[in-house]
């Protein structure tokens, strides 16, 4: 048996892409940023046993922008109506209901798969339950993998995060950055309310019948061997490598030590002014202190009281910056994570940063040639 063709819709830059697979080996070649890594990531999610899933970065950028621009003013108006929570949640969900002709939804990411078999050679026992074509001359099975929005799931998540969104919208943000952050929050909520589904269908990919995802993936013997890279633009456990490397390189600059030397005091002062230490102690550690006093009775009463102290150092600030810094690509008004949309720029950016770092010690002629 073999995968004959794969049709991809609304995935990153791939709006309507059909891939015809060869009989033995299919080679996918293309320029940098042409979508090769995106395909590998998609295949790993669709066919592999990995726990990775699609996310908001996998929707087409233009669709995310269009959706957030359309939904934001409508949700803003709903949140600022003098109505109870349940009614506000219901009104927002109506905007995203499949039953509404005016529903504001992003196109689902969809992968259609045709699998051919040789009647005389192939064992199709694992596939017979997914036969829909009654034509005896047909030698194919058809499947649809879809990453689509679930209105009920959206309602549950919006209900649980209502206060967070309500406070954001009722602050009436005016500046572009605040509005952008809220739009990103909405896109994230939309993503978390989306789910993967798998169907088998007829040859026109109509009359789909939903099937178990694990049963679908068990039909394929998928293996993926990644090539080694210093910086990997593939969505794996090695994410944020570019972000961390940028901070490491920036820390070599002359002005870094001056910046870091001032940051600890700048951070610790608001903590002290807000009496964060006292609040943490009174809300969480008093109970623990009582427990320690009880334990101390068994060892002669030598245990002291537990207190909270904060030691913000240059080293801890450096670690903090590495953890919270996020390298992103700005496409129009939309921000993408460094691993998204198949943007294979990580190595180029890293090389450029390294070049800037050592520019003073490199012959200008060599710099220009690089």
- Between CA 47 and CA 21 the distance in angstroms is 15
- Between CA 325 and CA 246 the distance in angstroms is 9
| pLDDT score of 367 more than 60 | no
| pLDDT score of 364 more than 70 | no
Q: Which residue has the higher pLDDT, 274 or 365?
A: 274
| pLDDT score of 353 more than 60 | no
> Is the full-model pTM beyond 0.75?
no
| pLDDT score of 116 more than 80 | yes
What pLDDT does residue 362 have? 43
Per-residue pLDDT band at 271 (split at 50, 70, 90): confident
Residue carrying the six token digits 């939903």: 210
The CATH code that applies to domain 2-217 is 3.40.50
8 A C-beta contact, residue 112 and residue 198: no
Burial 316-349 (b: 16+ CB within 10 A, else e): ebbeebbeeeebebeeeebbbbbbbbbbbbbeeb
Mean pLDDT of 314-327: 76
Cα→Cα distances 106→70, 94, 158, Å = 11, 15, 18
For residue 337, give the 3-state DSSP assignment.
strand
Per-residue pLDDT band at 245 (split at 50, 70, 90): confident
The alpha carbon dihedral of 304, 308, 314, 317 has a sign of positive
Percent of the chain's residues with pLDDT above 70: 75
Nearest to 56 by CA among 17, 12, 91, 20: 12
Q: Which of 2-16, 21-35, 300-314 has the lowest mean pLDDT?
A: 300-314
What pLDDT does residue 360 have? 47
Q: Which residue has the higher pLDDT, 350 or 5?
A: 5
Nearest to 148 by CA among 54, 70, 216: 54
Nearest to 261 by CA among 209, 313, 196: 313
What pLDDT does residue 319 have? 80
Q: Which residue has the higher pLDDT, 151 or 302?
A: 151
Residue carrying the six token digits 């049963």: 215
| Token pair listed for 103 | 């529903």
3-state secondary structure 60-119: CHHHHHHHHHHHHHHHHHHHCCCCCHHHHHHHHHHHCCCCCCCCCCCCCEEEEEEEECCC
| pLDDT score of 306 more than 90 | no
| pLDDT score of 253 more than 50 | yes
Percent of the chain's residues with pLDDT above 90: 33
Per-residue pLDDT band at 287 (split at 50, 70, 90): low
DSSP3 helix / strand / coil % (the chain, rounded to 5): 45, 15, 40
Helix (H) or strand (E) holding 2: strand 2-11
Give the pLDDT confidence of 24-73 residue by residue, as tens digits.
Answer: 888 888 887 788 888 888 998 999 876 678 888 899 888 998 999 999 99
| pLDDT score of 348 more than 60 | no
8 A C-beta contact, residue 266 and residue 320: no
What pLDDT does residue 56 have? 85
Domain assignments of the chain as residue spans, ordered by start: 2-217
| pLDDT score of 337 more than 90 | no
What pLDDT does residue 90 have? 95
| pLDDT score of 112 more than 80 | yes
């Amino acid at each position: 048996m073999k995968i004959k063709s794969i049709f991809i819709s609304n995935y990153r830059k791939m709006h309507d892409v059909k891939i015809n697979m060869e009989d033995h080996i299919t080679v996918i070649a293309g320029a940098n940023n042409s979508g090769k890594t995106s395909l590998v990531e998609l295949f790993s999610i669709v066919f592999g046993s990995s726990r990775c899933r699609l996310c908001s970065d996998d929707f087409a950028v233009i669709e995310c922008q269009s959706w957030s621009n359309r939904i934001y003013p409508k949700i803003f108006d709903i949140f600022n109506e003098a109505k109870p929570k349940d009614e506000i949640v219901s009104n927002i969900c109506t905007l995203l209901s499949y039953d509404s002709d005016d529903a504001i939804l992003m196109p689902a990411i969809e992968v259609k798969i045709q699998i051919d078999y040789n009647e005389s050679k192939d064992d199709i026992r694992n596939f017979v339950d997914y036969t829909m074509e009654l034509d005896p001359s047909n030698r194919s099975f058809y499947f649809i993998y879809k990453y689509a929005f679930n209105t009920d799931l959206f309602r549950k998540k919006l209900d649980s995060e209502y206060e967070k969104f309500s406070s954001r919208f009722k602050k009436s943000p005016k500046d572009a950055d605040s509005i952008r952050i809220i739009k990103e929050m909405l896109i994230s909520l939309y993503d978390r309310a989306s789910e993967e589904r798998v169907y088998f269908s007829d040859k026109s990919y109509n009359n789909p019948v939903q099937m178990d995802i694990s049963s679908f993936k068990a039909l394929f013997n998928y293996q993926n061997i990644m090539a080694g890279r210093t910086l990997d633009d593939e969505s794996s456990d090695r994410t944020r490598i570019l972000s961390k490397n940028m901070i490491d390189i920036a820390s070599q600059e002359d002005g870094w030590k001056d910046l870091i030397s001032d940051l600890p005091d700048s951070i610790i002062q608001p903590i002290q002014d807000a009496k964060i230490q006292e609040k943490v102690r009174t809300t969480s550690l008093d109970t623990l202190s009582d427990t320690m006093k009880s334990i101390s009775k068994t060892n002669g009463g030598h245990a002291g009281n537990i207190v909270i102290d904060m030691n913000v150092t240059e080293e801890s600030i450096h670690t903090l910056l590495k953890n919270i810094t996020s390298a992103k690509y700005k496409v129009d008004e939309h921000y993408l994570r460094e691993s998204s949309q198949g943007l294979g720029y990580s190595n180029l950016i890293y090389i450029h940063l390294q070049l800037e770092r050592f520019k003073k010690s490199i012959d200008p002629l060599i710099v220009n040639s690089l």
